[in-house]
């Protein structure tokens, strides 16, 4: 048995939220100091607290699962990872989509060679609604907050690191987002050393639900994973055949992914294995997000080392 402390209890993060969550799980509410005495620590508190909590847990010899990102500054991530490295403790970063059963099946089948050599990767990721301006201001911007998931997924699937990145972005959904200095619509192109190409498409609005799709085009076939709907029910009349919209947002779409992700963390830690994605994965995705932000701002392609 692994005793696990959870730091952070949802967006509200108030004591009552902690009490309610603990009651639902049959777990005690503990102090922050006590949390670092558990064998493993799950960090779900606000982003600015992540790096320090990770360092404290690592120094205490604890296994850590931290929601992405480790920090919005890649320099701070590097210094944090150095502490973890010197402590030699496990650190997993929460890129939940790797654990989505649909995307994970696509990855397995791609790795099994079903599509042959991967040549073109398409990732579509569109939120149902733009976030409130206050969220945007603290988010690090679309590339670090939203597209970072797709950049991690690109790394996960491409099998090679990107060597070139180009981003184009605009504010088309909500002028308040532009006022906050951010964009709400963005596309990215990645190229790897062997010539694999990847296209990512992001929008902060999709009227038909949370649009999460991947297509992997290979030398012998195409593998793709589509949107999920709440039911298989279809209605037909003179307007046509109508299915359900895509599931509303990440809590519904990735419910199974979140469970599988925590399972993977616990299983790895319990077996003494390093969990993945790890801190280096978190850093690499952030470096790509930084490059995308730079590319969109400068209208130039960015060479990646």
Specify the stretch interacting with its own copies by CB under 8 A; choose among 51-59, 136-144, 217-225, 279-287: 217-225
Q: Which of residues 21-80 bind its own copies (CB under 8 A)?
A: none
Rounded to whole angstroms, the Cα distance separating 180 from 122 reads 29
Rounded to whole angstroms, the Cα distance separating 287 from 200 reads 16
Structure tokens at 41: 């620590």
Q: Nearer Cβ to its own copies, position 69 or 141? A: 141
User: Which listed residue (113, 181, 224, 251) binds its own copies by CB under 8 A?
Assistant: 224
User: Which listed residue (17, 168, 262, 287) binds its own copies by CB under 8 A?
Assistant: 168
Told to check if 102 binds its own copies by CB under 8 A, we report: yes
Q: What is the DSSP string of 248-302?
A: SSHHHHTHHHHHHHHHHHHHHHHTTPPPSSBHHHHHHHHHHHHHHHHHHHHTS-E
Rounded to whole angstroms, the Cα distance separating 190 from 174 reads 27
Q: Enumerate residues 6+ apart whose C-beta is below 8 A from 231.
A: 244
Residue 186 CB, shortest distance to its own copies, in Å, is 8
Specify the stretch interacting with its own copies by CB under 8 A; choose among 46-54, 76-84, 208-216, 278-286: 208-216
Quick one: angle between helices 279-298 and 148-158, nearest 10?
A: 120
Rounded to whole angstroms, the Cα distance separating 150 from 170 reads 18
User: Which listed residue (20, 49, 199, 276) binds its own copies by CB under 8 A?
Assistant: 199
Taking residue 304's Cβ as centre, other Cβ atoms within 10 Å add up to 16
Told to check if 106 binds its own copies by CB under 8 A, we report: yes
Which x/- pattern, by CB under 8 A, does the window 265-284 give for its own copies?
--------------------
Told to check if 186 binds its own copies by CB under 8 A, we report: yes
Q: Which of residues 282-301 bind its own copies (CB under 8 A)?
A: 299-301
Told to check if 18 binds its own copies by CB under 8 A, we report: no
User: Which listed residue (114, 160, 278, 294) binds its own copies by CB under 8 A?
Assistant: 114
User: Which listed residue (59, 137, 205, 304) binds its own copies by CB under 8 A?
Assistant: 205
Q: Nearer Cβ to its own copies, position 159 or 245? A: 245
Secondary structure in 3-state letters for 76-140:
HHHHHHHHHHHHCCCEEEECHHHHCHHHHHHHHHHHCCCCCCEEEEEEEEECCCCCCHHHHHHHC
Told to check if 242 binds its own copies by CB under 8 A, we report: yes
């Amino acid at each position: 048995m692994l005793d696990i402390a959870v730091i952070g209890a949802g967006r509200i993060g108030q004591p009552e939220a902690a009490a309610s969550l603990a009651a639902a799980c049959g777990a005690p509410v503990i102090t922050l100091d006590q949390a670092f005495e558990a064998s493993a620590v799950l960090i779900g508190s606000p982003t600015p607290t992540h790096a320090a909590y990770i360092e404290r847990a690592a120094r205490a010899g604890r296994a850590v699962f931290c929601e992405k990102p480790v920090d919005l500054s890649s320099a701070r991530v590097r210094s944090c990872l150095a502490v973890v490295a010197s402590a030699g403790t496990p650190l997993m970063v929460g890129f939940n989509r790797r654990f989505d059963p649909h995307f994970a099946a696509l990855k397995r089948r791609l790795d099994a060679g079903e599509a042959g050599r991967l040549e073109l990767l398409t990732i579509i990721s569109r939120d149902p609604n733009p976030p409130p301006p206050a969220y945007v201001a603290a988010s690090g911007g679309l590339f670090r907050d939203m597209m970072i998931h797709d950049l991690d997924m690109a790394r996960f699937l491409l099998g090679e690191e990107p060597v070139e990145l180009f981003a184009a972005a605009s504010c088309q959904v909500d002028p308040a987002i532009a006022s906050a200095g951010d964009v709400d619509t963005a596309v990215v192109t990645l190229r790897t050393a062997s010539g694999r190409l990847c296209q990512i498409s992001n929008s902060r609005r999709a009227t038909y639900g949370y649009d999460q799709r991947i297509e992997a085009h290979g030398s012998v076939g195409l593998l793709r994973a589509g949107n999920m709907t709440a039911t298989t029910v279809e209605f037909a009349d003179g307007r046509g055949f109508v299915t359900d919209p895509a599931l509303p947002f990440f809590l519904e779409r990735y419910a199974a992914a979140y469970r599988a992700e925590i399972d993977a963390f616990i299983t790895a830690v319990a077996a003494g294995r390093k969990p993945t994605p790890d801190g280096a994965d978190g850093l690499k995705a952030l470096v790509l997000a930084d490059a995308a932000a730079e590319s969109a701002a400068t209208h130039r392609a960015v060479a990646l080392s």
